[in-house]
Structure 1
Amino acid sequence: MRKLSYGMSVSLDGYIAAPGDDLSWGVPSDELFQFWSDRVEATGLALYGRKLWEGMSSHWPTADQQPGVTPAHIEFANRWRDMPKVVFSSTISTVGWNARVVTGDAVAEIRRLKAEDGGPMDICGATLAATAMRAGLIDEYAIVTHPVLVGGGTPFFTALDDWVNLRLVETGTFPGGVLLTRYETRR
């Protein structure tokens, strides 16, 4: 059975994006960017919601061809393109870059994918992650907390009907006071 992880950069007050989808508060240091790149390299399958897919697919397919691109960005772009991806959307019909679209029941499809053999899966995007959270499908949370209060926006966590007990499995720090906490779901 595959493990499903949900990890993103989060403001100290719990948001992955500030109002207006502003992400400027979360620009990663070189070390944090490498952490995310290594995470992509280790992912067997990434599950994307439509909104995050549109953002990522508008930049990373050709990011390695931009003027002044760094070796780290070239590496990430290559890893991102090569990583198998599933995009959950009722409005997108075609995708590229080693991805396929699922238009049906996200919970049923995620359960099916978890039951398959293969490497770990990452869920990408707050709305899709909220659906998986409410269904009890997430096995790990990787929270990269930035020392900023944004006051609102898109929350990392969703409202739940039941408690989810977690076990701390890793902590780490990055420049600028950024903190990694990784938790596994206790079942």
Structure 2
Amino acid sequence: MRKLTFAMNVSLDGYIAAPGDELGWSVPSDELFQWWSDRVAATGLALYGRRLWEAMNSHWPTADQQPGVTPAEIEYARRWRDMPKVVFSATTSAVDWNTRLVSSDAVDEITRLKAEKAANAGPMDIGGATLAAAAMRAGLIDEYLLLTAPVLVGTGTPFFATLDNWVNLDLVETRTFPDCGVVLTRYETRR
């Protein structure tokens, strides 16, 4: 069975975006940006909700052609375009950049994708608050990876959904990015 990881930048008070989908507080340092780039390169399939897809698709397909682009941004843009992606949306009509659109039930499709043999397909990452919340409530997330920034945003889009039951987790990794104060914590769901 394939592993599904929910990985996002998160504020110290638990938000992935401030009001108005503001993300300016989560601009990564060079070291953290490289970590994200390496993660994209290792991802077998990325699952996106509509809003996260729109944000990523508005920048990364052509980011490597912009003036002043860094070598790290060129590498990330290439990796992002090459990475297989699934977008879950009932309102989006077309996707591109190695992406497939799913407008049917997200939980059913994620369950099907998880059942694929990991050796052939690689690990999956899920992103987007609404999509991740549905997978969280259905018990489909195997790993939570939080990159916690030293900022309090007060309100916004929470990382964790409201759940009906406890989810017990085991801490399996921590790492500090001293150049920006971000702390990575990785937890596996205890089954």
> What TM-score comes out, normalization by structure 2 length?
0.97
In structure 2, the partner of 1:162 is 165
Name the CA distance, whole Å, in 1 between partners of 2:170 and 2:78: 33
Name the CA distance, whole Å, in 1 between partners of 2:5 and 2:78: 21
In structure 1, the partner of 2:140 is 137
Work out whether 1:184 is the aligned partner of 2:188: yes
Any residues of structure 2 matched to 1:8-157 within 5 Å, and which?
8-117=8-117, 118-157=121-160
One-letter amino acid matched to 2:166: W
Offset, 1:108: 0.3
State the identity as a percent.
78
One-letter amino acid matched to 1:178: V
Offset, 1:176: 2.2
Name the CA distance, whole Å, in 1 between partners of 2:162 and 2:144: 16
One-letter amino acid matched to 1:28: P
One-letter amino acid matched to 1:49: G
One-letter amino acid matched to 2:99: A
One-letter amino acid matched to 2:169: L
Q: Deviations over 1:66-94 (max 9, x none)?
A: 00100000000000000000000000121
> What TM-score comes out, normalization by structure 1 length?
0.99
One-letter amino acid matched to 1:27: V
Kept after mapping to 1: 8 A contact 2:48/2:86: yes
Offset, 1:177: 1.4
Q: Deviations over 1:127-156 (max 9, x none)?
A: 100000000000001100001100000100
Offset, 1:21: 1.0
Structure 2 residue matching 1:48: 3-state secondary structure: strand
Structure 2 residue matching 1:129: 3-state secondary structure: helix
Name the CA distance, whole Å, in 1 between partners of 2:154 and 2:166: 25
Aligned length: 187
Structure 1 residue matching 2:151: 3-state secondary structure: coil
Name the CA distance, whole Å, in 2 between partners of 1:104 and 1:21: 25
Name the CA distance, whole Å, in 2 between partners of 1:128 and 1:177: 28
Runs ≥4 in structure 1, deviation > 3 angstroms?
Answer: none
Name the CA distance, whole Å, in 1 between partners of 2:20 and 2:68: 28
Structure 1 residue matching 2:38: 3-state secondary structure: helix
Structure 2 residue matching 1:168: 3-state secondary structure: strand
Name the CA distance, whole Å, in 2 between partners of 1:177 and 1:66: 29
Q: Deviations over 1:93-115 (max 9, x none)?
A: 21000001000000000000000
Kept after mapping to 1: 8 A contact 2:28/2:180: no
